[in-house]
Each structure stands twice: as C-alpha cells, then as structure tokens.
Amino acid sequence: MSASKSSARKRVSERQIPKSESKRRVSAAEDEFDAEISDDIKGIMTALKQIREKAQQDGLKKKEETISRQSFAKALSKSSKECENLLKNETAKFQSIYDKFNKEKATHLQSLKDTISKYEEEKERLFMRYEQLRKKEKSMISELEQDSTKRIAELEESLKKKKQDDKAFSFLRKTLGSFLDNASDEDFPPDD
C-alpha cells in the first residue's frame, strides 16, 4: 500500500515541479520512499518477531500442556495399575472366601444329611417298637378280656351253684325243721 501511495505522490510531484528541482525532489522522494520501505520492513520485521514470539509462547504452552497431559497420563496409569492390583488382591481374597464357603457348605450339608438320616433311622426304629408294643398291648388286652370273660362266667356259674346250694340248704333246713317240730319258720330267714 505504501508503494502505491509513494508512486502516486511521485507522479503528482513530477507534474508540478521543474526538472532541476524534480531531481532533488526525486532524490528526496527516493529517500522518503526508502524511509517508507524501511518503515514497512521494520513493521514487517516487528510483526514477524511478534508472530515468532507468539509461536514460541504457543509452543511453550503446548509443551506445558503436553507435559501436563503426560503427567496426568502417568498419574492415571499409575492409579490404574494400583486399582488393578487392588482388584486382583480383592478378587483373590473373594475367591478364597468363596472356596472356603463352598467347602464349609458341603461339610454342613453332609452333616445335615447324616443327621437327617440318623433321625429317619431312629424314627423308623421307634415306630417299629411302638407297633410291637401296640400289638403286645392288644394281645394282652385280648387275653385280659378273655380271662375276665372266663372269670365272670366262672363267677356266674359259682353264684348259680351257691344259689342252688342255698336253696338245697334251705330245703334241708326246712326238712330238718319239720323233723324237729320245735323249729319254726321264723328261726330261719326267708330264701332269696
């Protein structure tokens, strides 16, 4: 842009100014042009310097960011390894406890089965004993009933004989009493 401005000035100045003066002015214009170019170059150099500094700062930031990320990644990796080791240890502990539980469970189940089996055997033995005792009691009750029935029959027979004997005795007494004339019916109780 500066170059186009300076050439425009140069043209304007050449038209209006005489030649001798124009040479002086050309030389001044060139100096001015050189100064403008020099200023432009300085501006460009300053801009490049600023760009370079900005790039260096960005590079430093990126390096710091990268270092920070690497540190974070290392910390994360370390933490991950620690967690993995803890998980392995806890898994091993759990597996050990689980295996122990299964062994104890099997032992307890077998013990329970043995206890139930013994209980069932004892129950069966007691039931058979109960059945035997019940049969024995039934036969004893049956024998007692038969004995009781037999005794009752014997007692009834004995009672009948006694009544017959009493009647015979009463008859004998009456008969004897009639031989002994002094005996009366009042001396003997009436027969049943």
Q: Confirm whether 179 is domain-assigned.
A: no
Q: Confirm whether 174 is domain-assigned.
A: no
Q: Confirm whether 191 is domain-assigned.
A: no
Reported pTM: 0.36
Q: Confirm whether 163 is domain-assigned.
A: yes
Q: Confirm whether 176 is domain-assigned.
A: no
Q: What is the pLDDT of residues 123-146, one digit of tens each?
A: 999 999 999 999 999 999 999 999
3-state secondary structure 83-142: HHHHHHHHHHHHHHHHHHHHHHHHHHHHHHHHHHHHHHHHHHHHHHHHHHHHHHHHHHHH
Helix axes 19-179, 2-16, angle to 10 degrees: 160
Total domains in the chain come to 1
Q: Confirm whether 127 is domain-assigned.
A: yes
Q: Average pLDDT in the 159-163 region?
A: 85
Q: Confirm whether 180 is domain-assigned.
A: no
Q: What is the pLDDT of residues 24-79, one digit of tens each?
A: 665 666 666 677 778 888 888 899 999 989 988 888 888 888 888 888 888 989 99
* Structural domain containing residue 55: 2-167
Q: Confirm whether 146 is domain-assigned.
A: yes
The span from the CA of 71 to the CA of 60, in Å, is 16
The span from the CA of 128 to the CA of 122, in Å, is 10
